Amino acid sequence: MPEAPEPVPDAPPPRIVYRHRLVTRVWHWINAVAVIVLIGSGLTISNAHKRLYWGDYGANYDHAWLEVPRWPGWLTIPSLYNLAAARSWHLTFALVLAFGLLIYLIWSLANRHIQRDLRVRKDELAPRHLLDDLKAHLALRFHDPANPAAYNIFQKLSYAGVLFVLLPVLVFSGLALSPGMDAGWPWLIDIFGGRQSARSVHFIAMALLTLFIVVHLTLVILAGALNEVRSMITGKWEVPE
C-alpha cells in the first residue's frame, strides 16, 4: 500500500509591524494634497512671467539666467489661465504646508521620532556602507533584514533634506516674494539677495521637491505600492519576505 504524502507545512503568517503613527499619516496626506496644489498653481504663476533673474529687479528686457517653458493646462491649477485664482490657491495651501510642517516638526521632536528614526550615524556615511546600500537599492532590496522597519541611509538623508532644507526654503523664499513682508520682515528679502533671487530660489527648490516626489513614488511602486500605501493609511506595514 503506497505511503501517504507528507503534509506540506503551512506558510508562516506575514509579519506585521506598526510603522507610521497617526500624526505622521495625517500630515503625509495633507502635505501631499498641499504640494500638488502648490506645484500646479505655481506653474500657472510661472506662466505669467517665464523668465528668472538674480538680484532685486527683473523685467522683459533684463538678462535672465533661465527662461522656463510655458506649462500646459493639464499641469496647472486652474487648468485655464487665471493668475488671480492661482495666487489664491497658492497662498491658501502655502499656509497649510507651512503650519502643517511646523506642527509635524514640533510633534516629531517631542516624541523623539526624528532623533530615533532620522538620526544619521557616522558609520552610515562610510563609503563602504553607502556603496552596499546603493547595491541593495539597485537589486530592489530596500530594507535591512535585521531591522526591516528602519530607514536606510538614503531615506534618512532625503527625508531630512526635505524636512529641514527644501520645505523651509520654499516657505521662507515664498514669504520673501510677498510685498507684505517689506514692512514686517524686510531682512528676509536681503537674506535671499533680492526679491528676484528669492523667486529663483523658490523655483529651484520647487524643482528639487518635484524630483524628490518622482523618485519617492517610483521607489514606492518598486517596493510594493499596495503595502506601502496601506501602511501610510493604517500605519501597519507587512514586512517583505
User: Which tens digits make up the pLDDT trace of 179-202?
Assistant: 877 767 888 999 999 999 999 999
Give the distance, in angstroms, between the CA of residue 45 and the centroid of all CA atoms in the same chain.
Answer: 21
Residues 6 or more apart whose CB falls under 8 angstroms from that of 179 comprise: none
pLDDT band at 171 (very low <50, low <70, confident <90, very high): very high
The average confidence (pLDDT) of the chain is 88
Over the stretch 43-79, which tens digit does the pLDDT of each residue have? Answer: 999 999 999 999 988 777 788 999 999 999 999 999 9
State mean pLDDT over 225-235: 90
State mean pLDDT over 75-90: 94
Residue 139: what are its φ and ψ, rounded to 5°? -90, 10
Residue 66 falls in which region: left (phi positive, over 0), alpha (psi -120 to 50) or beta: beta
Handedness of CA 125, 127, 129, 135 (dihedral sign): positive
Q: Residues of the chain with pLDDT > 70: what percent?
A: 93
Three-state SS for 90-140 is: HHHHHHHHHHHHHHHHHHHHHCCHHHHHCCCCHHHHCHHHHHHHHHHHHCC
Predicted pLDDT of residue 184: 74
SS3 141: coil
**C-alpha cell read off for 145:** 533584514
Identify the CA nearest to 42 among candidates 53, 34, 30: 34
